[in-house]
Structures are given as C-alpha cells and as structure tokens.
C-alpha cells in the first residue's frame, strides 16, 4: 500500500478526465481531514478518496462490459442503472491495477456510491467526503459538512435524505443498499435517544 500522490495521479489519468481528477483530489483531502477527526488511518482515507471514482464516467455499455470482464457481480437494479456499479468496479480496478489489497480501502471504494447497512468509519468518511468536497455546490451541503465534523452518523442520515429527495425528484428508484443504510442509521439514532 505504498502509493504516493504522483503515482495515484498517473494512475487516475489513465482512467478519468481532469475534472474528475480534481474532484478526487478534493475528496481525498476532505477524507484525510475527516480521518483525523475520527481517528482513522489517514493514508487509507487518502488512497480511497483519490481512487473512489476510477471507474466513473464510462458509458452504460462500457460499465456493464467491464463488470463482466472483471467478474464483478451486479444486481438487477445495477444492470438497469450501470452508473451505480462504478464503486464495485472501481474497487476491483484499484485492486488489480494498483495492487492494493487492503480490505478497508477497497470496501470504502465499493460502497461510496450506494452506502450499506453497518458501514465502517472509513466507508462513511469516503461516502461523506465525496459529497462535501469543496467543488460540490447544492442546497443543504453546509449542514451536511457541519454535521460531518460533529457526528458522522447524523451527516450520513442527512446526506442519504438529500440523495433520496434528489433521486425521487427525478422519478428514479433508490438502490436497496441506500435504503438499508438509511434505515440502519435511523434505528441506531433512535436507540441512542432511548439509551439502548
């Protein structure tokens, strides 16, 4: 796991455009700050942040083709919405092409798109860093960013609510993993309030 910034930029240039590289750098910086806040390995946060979108921006056909080529298992929902596979596919590309075998890093890349129930702290950090990096502008981002440094679970709930509203406003369905992530966090929040 000896990846420096120059190596990662060189790797990203093979896969994504300049705009997405800038987003990746911003996400990695935000991820490192969140890692410091929550006592998570900063190097892992940096690598996952830099590489989380390595499979993004490919056409629908290209993503499905790559998923088959890399033996990435995708569900029916992802077959119909291949852009959601870029997390799973990205983890596989990073593993095979960069030689990164760290399960925490790969899992953070894999789940940054949909989230899932019972996410690790690094998974939450990458999910949130991707949403709040300085290049992002949308209504409600300030509140999510504030929460991110106070209570990452509250930030996750707020971010998932934003995603749900956005997806529903466009007439699309939400991935079941995102729903599971939201329900899991809401249940934990309720248990905290009840002191359970």
Provide the 10 A C-beta neighbour count for residue 147: 19
Residue 41: the pLDDT is 97
Per-residue pLDDT of the chain (196 residues; tens, 9 = 90+): 457 788 899 999 999 999 999 999 999 999 999 999 999 999 999 999 999 999 997 766 777 788 888 888 888 888 888 788 899 999 999 999 999 999 999 999 999 999 999 999 999 999 999 999 999 988 889 999 999 999 999 999 999 999 998 888 888 888 999 999 999 999 998 888 888 7
Q: Closest by alpha carbon to 128, among 16, 54, 189, 49?
A: 49
How far is residue 81 from each of residues 28, 84, 136, 173, measured CA to CA in Å?
A: 26, 6, 23, 10
End-to-end Cα spacing for the chain: 39
Whole-model pTM over 0.85: yes
Question: What DSSP string describes 143-176?
Answer: HHHHHHTT-HHHHHHHHHHHHHHHHHHTTPPPPH
Residue 2: the pLDDT is 56
Taking a C-beta distance cutoff of 8 angstroms, is the pair 89, 67 a contact?
Answer: yes
* Assigned superfamily of 5-138: Hypothetical protein af1432 (1.10.3210.10)
Angle (nearest 5°) at CA 23 between 18 and 25 = 95
Taking a C-beta distance cutoff of 8 angstroms, is the pair 182, 157 a contact?
Answer: yes
Taking a C-beta distance cutoff of 8 angstroms, is the pair 128, 156 a contact?
Answer: yes
CA–chain centroid gap for 104, Å, is 12
Taking a C-beta distance cutoff of 8 angstroms, is the pair 122, 48 a contact?
Answer: yes
Residue boundaries of the structural domains of the chain? 5-138
């Amino acid at each position: 796991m000896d990846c420096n910034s120059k190596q990662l930029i060189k790797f990203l240039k093979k896969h994504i455009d300049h705009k997405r590289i800038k987003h990746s750098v911003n996400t990695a910086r935000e991820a490192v700050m969140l890692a410091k806040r929550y006592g998570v390995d900063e190097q892992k946060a940096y690598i996952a942040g830099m590489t989380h979108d390595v499979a993004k921006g490919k056409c629908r056909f290209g993503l499905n083709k790559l998923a088959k080529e890399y033996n990435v298992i995708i569900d029916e929902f992802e077959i119909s919405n291949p852009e959601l596979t870029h997390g799973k596919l990205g983890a596989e590309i990073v593993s095979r092409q960069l030689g990164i075998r760290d399960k925490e890093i790969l899992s953070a890349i894999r789940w940054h798109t949909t989230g899932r129930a019972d996410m690790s702290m690094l998974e939450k950090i990458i999910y949130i860093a991707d949403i709040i990096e300085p290049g992002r502008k949308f209504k409600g981002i300030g509140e999510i960013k504030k929460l991110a440094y106070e209570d990452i679970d509250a930030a996750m709930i707020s971010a998932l609510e934003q995603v749900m509203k956005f997806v529903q406003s466009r007439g699309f369905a939400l991935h079941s993993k995102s729903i599971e992530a939201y329900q899991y966090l809401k249940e934990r929040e309720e248990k905290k309030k009840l002191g359970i």
